[in-house]
Structure 1
Amino acid sequence: MRLNKFPSLQWGESFYLISELTTLVKRGVLLSNVLPVFIGFWLALYFSNASFVNHLGVFFLTVIGSTFVIAGALILNNWYDVDIDQLMERTKNRPTVTGTIPLHVVFTLGIILTILGLILLLFTTVEATIYAFVGWFTYVVLYTMWSKRRYTLNTLIGSVSGAVTPLIGWAAIQPASTIVPIVLFLFLFIWQMPHTFAITIRKYEEYQAAGVAMLPVVHGFNVTKRQMVVYVGCLLPLPYYLTPLGTAFVVIATLLNVVWLALSLYGLFTRNDLKWARIMFLFSVNYLMIILILMIIVTLPISS
């Protein structure tokens, strides 16, 4: 009989609240940023000939801590951008816009998660904590609060926050001053530029209505497409700095870079910008997943 105190409506409301919370932390973006943390951690173990089992404690502290910090940054982004989110179709249903979760609760949650995450990371290494804070500060302050609405360089600035994620994982094991973590940073930093530009071209009208100073909105599609070619071209030499990962990785990564460059060049001539941008977006998402998963596959002996 005591179960009657918990009607099905309450369970439904609980699931709805959980769904709203996952929307608040942008679960897709969160996962795509935590994965590189794991990659950095995994590769640091591989190149230092260390055992994953012997570092389980550090692993959980690194992943949970970085997840909290990244989630905190994403939540604060939602809190600050509530005025422009209500003007964009893809963001108008966020709980900050609908009022499902009060803004003061959103702000408090973002700060608490950030502090908890940084504290957990301090139990790994100070260097890993510094990288996490740099990523958080860049995304929340330099990108969200300062440059996003003012300068087209906002994408370049924001890319730093996503690129430091593998450094967090790597630095939890050893200093991230060697060539591999630096190249991982460059991979993610450069990748984010054409990826974000593709999103902006697809959602051009929404960004324009919201007054966000994205490159396609301010300088047009042609300038943006030329820059995308340059950024994708900058990815071409990077696999050759990761030859310790094996020939298969270098070959596959190079082929992916060549295909992406060809798609970028095609964009200079096509008249169907929206269709092309959608193809570029889908390719960029799969490109990153393939590259990161391939890094795990070619180093699988680490698990033994």
Structure 2
Amino acid sequence: MPQQSTTNQLIPSESYLEAGKTGWRDYIEITKPGINKSNLLATFAGYWIAAGFTSFNVWTFLLTMLGTALVIAGGGTVNNYYDRDIDPRMERTRQRAIPEGKIRPTIALWYGIILTILGIIVLAVGVNALAAFLGLMGFYVYVIIYTMWLKRTSTLNTVIGGICGAIPPLIGWVAVKNSLDLSAWALFLVLFMWQPPHFFALAMRKVEDYRAAGIPMLPVVKGFKETKKQTFIFTLLLCLSSLILFFTGVLSWFYLIVALVLGVVYIALALKGFYTKDDDQWAKQMFLFSLIYLTVILSVMIIDVGITEIIKMY
């Protein structure tokens, strides 16, 4: 891996002296709100599947969403703080608040820590201890295991880092059940298996960015052929994992049919990668479909439970 420059070389300290440069939007963007939105949808899916209409408590739900959002925002902010040495090297990250000198690194660090602590407190006091523990574990995996260790040392960064992205639906589930069963872990698997194909596609599209920053993403270290192979494997595992929720009885035939259709399309698109002549275009298609897949399958989970609950009422 190429030697990385020091933070002082990459971030001009005098930029912090520019009066009025920081806006409130910078303090929102540094928390990675896009990632937060998708994770909160997963949190809601976990809560809704576990609760339905009968066990749905509005206050507990709101505190669950708030606590989870704060923890995720805190993790995203600390990630921005720690990556301040490599973000300026990458086109897609060099305009973040810290590289541009809009927010001081120390302020970002404490901002992230405070957000995380508030989130854990909300989950512990307003929801339950297990929800708080899962929130803390998600933060630990994302910040310590992924950001500070694997992201800079191993191609396993994407796979192991996927654990933190699969925890939000578990938080939603335990907010209702205060325990984890097979259905909860099935939810975890769907989110966990989704992440490698999603981030492998992104890494292929931004391979030169990651290479310049010295980040050992799979396409950088082992090339596109191996990345396509692992993408296909995880896409196949995702399709199989998504079916478990039907067989545990928490979701119906409606969900099963949609999950099968989505899975077959995703697998076919992954197979296409072995024959394509335009890797960048294929990676773009895979990335876009991964976003569609996640949004649709989580939405269908939510709709399926709603339909089932209404049918039970009549």
TM-score where L is the length of structure 1: 0.91
Percent identity (aligned): 43
Any idea what the Cα deviations from partners look like across 1:98-135, whole Å, max 9, x if unmatched?
11111111001000000000000002111111111111
Greater CA deviation, 229-238 or 90-99?
229-238
Partner Cα separation in structure 2 for residue 258 and residue 32 of structure 1 = 23
Aligned length: 287
Q: Is the 8 A contact 1:134 1:161 kept in 2?
A: yes
CA distance in 2, matches of 1:132, 1:161: 9
The answer for unaligned runs of 5 or more in structure 1 is: 1-12
Residue in structure 2 matched with residue 31 of structure 1 by the alignment: 37
CA RMSD of aligned residues (A): 1.5
Q: Residues 64-213 of structure 1: matches in 2 within 5 Å?
A: 64-123=66-125, 124-213=127-216
How far apart, CA to CA, are the structure 2 residues paired with 1:37 and 1:296? 11
Deviation at 1:269, TM superposition (A): 1.3
* Contact map agreement 1:36 1:165 (CA 8 A) in 2: yes
> What's the counterpart of residue 292 of structure 2?
286
The aligned counterpart of 1:50 is 54
Q: Distance in 2 between matches of 1:122 and 1:27?
A: 23
Tell me the equivalent position of 2:256.
250
Shift in Å, 1:51: 3.6
- Cross-structure match for 1:222: 225
Partner SS, residue 152 of structure 2: coil
Determine the C-alpha separation between the residues in 2 that align with 1:292 and 1:176.
21
Check the 8 A contact 1:176/1:182 in 2, yes or no: no
Superposition TM-score, scaled by structure 2 size: 0.88
Change (3 A) 1:238 1:157: closer
Task: Indicate conservation of the 8 Å contact 1:40/1:169, yes or no.
Answer: yes
Secondary structure at 2:285's aligned position in 1? helix
Aligned-pair CA distance for 1:50: 2.8
Structure 2, gaps ≥5 residues long: 1-19
- Counterpart residue type for residue 300 of structure 1: G
Alpha-carbon distance in 1 for matches of 2:88, 2:243 = 44
In structure 1, distance between residues paired with 2:141 and 2:161: 7
